[in-house]
Amino acid sequence: MLFILLLIAFAAIVAWIVYSAGPIFALKRFGGALLVLVLVTFGVSAMLSFTTGDESTKQALEELGVSRNAQPCVTALGTGASVENVNECVEDRGLDKNVFAQYADWAKQLVIDRDLGLAFYKNGETLSDTMKQRLPRTAWLFLYSQLTALFLAVPLGIWSAYQAGRGGRGLPKWALPAGVGILLLIGFFSGFRLTSLFAIVIAFAAVYSIFAGGRLADNNTNFLAFALLSIPVFVLGETLRYAFAIERDIYQLTGYQPWSEGIGEHLKSIWLPTLVLGLAATPVYLRLLRADMIQNLQQDFVSVAKAKGMSNSHILLRHVLRPSTVTLITVLGLNIAQLVNGAIVVEFIYDLDGMGSYLIAAFARREFFAVQTIVALVAALFILTNTLIDVLYTAVDPRVKADDER
């Protein structure tokens, strides 16, 4: 079912690309994409073939009566595997063959037999079952977090860029540190929790900035964004987990609930990791959008629109926003790669068994076949999204032609 939906979505995207950028562009792009896919997967295959251990390991394995290249199988089967089991595994995986033969085997099984192979060799769990269970978690987490980031970054970026070119209300500069200090003192002596104090201070700074406006507000927004950018995801994740799930009982660490449990349950089970990943991505988007907006606000056409008497919101949203999103869209496309690797830390902190944590486990168990399959999937997704984004450029800026004859 899910597979069919994905296929339909894929077909729709391809159709749209062919429609809006022409069949030649689509052919070129997808031909190139296929080449990239082959190169990437073969590269992974070649690199993985180097990880069969050093010379002493190989000699030790030979003395045990198994193949010299059996090291991945030994790891995958764990302790207590018999010599026969290991030999069978080596035979199954074709570890004794050369890289090209291994790659051909992998490609044949994936493309012709439509078999994704095993997720874990030892217990015979198939990769398709694992993905059915784990992929939605990572996919939803990623989708929600990107939406959260955009939801925070776009309005803030626009507002910040707008304030950068204005005179503010001229609030006294000492009001911010003074207010923060007083709040901290009151909070400290009334026995507030540290995380509450922190939240209060940030809220006060935000309210002060919104009220003050002008360059000061822009500076404060940037400062907060920069601070957020400097906090590693695991620190942010652990802090928020501590604040919301341990100190208070706002987020339950009950694990992921699928959509079938009801949308409320689903969102309740995933909102905090979403927020963490979203907050981690927000400052990047915010700063990119702000910089582009400020640059475009200097353009003559903004003066013209002002001279026409158009309102500020009209100028910001209808004139400046669209040409300012080019960099943002680019980075958004590049972030697709995070679908698997960026979520690993958050999945680990919040016990969401997603694709990220599976990939780590698969590497640890030397499940090369599955790793290669996942890399291929991520690469395919990456290429598809970025092709989509190339076409989006033409929608954002008509001067850019997707099918650039060079």
Partner 1 sequence: MTETMLKVENLAVDFSTPAGNLRAVDGVSLELAEGETYAIVGESGSGKSVFSRTLINLLAGNGKREGSIEIGGRDIDTLSKSEAKHFFGVDVAMVFQDPMTSLNPVKRIDAQLMEAMRYHLKVSKSEARERAIALLKQVHIPSPEQRMRQYPHELSGGMRQRVVIAMALACEPRLLIADEPTTALDVTVQKSILDLLDELRIERKMSMILITHDLGVARGRADRIGVMYAGRLMEVGKTDDLFADMRHPYTQALLQSIPNPAKRSHTRLQPIPGRPPNLLDPPQGCAFAARCRHAQPDCLNAKPVLEGTSGGSDDHRWACFHPVGTPDGDAALKANLEAGANAGGMSMKEIVGELV
28: contact with partner 1 by CB under 8 A: no
3-state secondary structure of 165: coil
Nearer Cβ to partner 1, position 264 or 309? 309
Nearer Cβ to partner 1, position 49 or 219? 219
Binding footprint of partner 1, residue count (CB under 8 A): 24
**Centroid of chain to Cα 400:** 27
State the binding string over 322-351 for partner 1 (x if CB under 8 A, else -): xx----------------------------
Please count the CA atoms within 13 angstroms of the CA of 190 that sit on its side-chain side: 9
CA distance 131 to 126: 9
CA angle 231, 273, 385 (to 5 degrees): 90
201: contact with partner 1 by CB under 8 A: no
Exactly one of 19, 155, 318, 351 binds partner 1 (CB under 8 A); that residue is 318
- Tell which positions 127-166 bind partner 1, by CB under 8 A: 165-166
Exactly one of 314, 317, 334, 364 binds partner 1 (CB under 8 A); that residue is 314
State the binding string over 165-194 for partner 1 (x if CB under 8 A, else -): xxx---------------------------
- Beta-carbon count within 10 A of 112 CB: 8
Q: Which stretch binds partner 1 (CB under 8 A): 45-53, 278-286, 295-303, 329-337?
A: 295-303
Give the per-residue SS3 of 282-347.
HHHHHHHHHHHHHHHHCCHHHHHHHHCCCCHHHHHHHHHCHHHHHHHHHHHHHHHHHHHHCCHHHH
401: contact with partner 1 by CB under 8 A: no
Exactly one of 399, 404, 405, 406 binds partner 1 (CB under 8 A); that residue is 399
Burial label, 128 (beta-carbon count in 10 A; 0-12, 13-18, 19+) = middle
CA distance 198 to 202: 6
**Residue 216 beta carbon to partner 1: minimum distance, rounded to whole angstroms:** 13
Q: Which single residue is written with the structure tokens 């970054």?
A: 153
Nearer Cβ to partner 1, position 164 or 332? 164
CA distance 164 to 216: 8
CA distance 182 to 184: 5
Nearer Cβ to partner 1, position 308 or 406? 308
**Residue 299 beta carbon to partner 1: minimum distance, rounded to whole angstroms:** 6
Nearer Cβ to partner 1, position 34 or 304? 304
300: contact with partner 1 by CB under 8 A: yes
Give the footprint of partner 1 on this chain (CB under 8 A).
Answer: 165-167, 299-301, 303-311, 314, 318-319, 322-323, 396-399
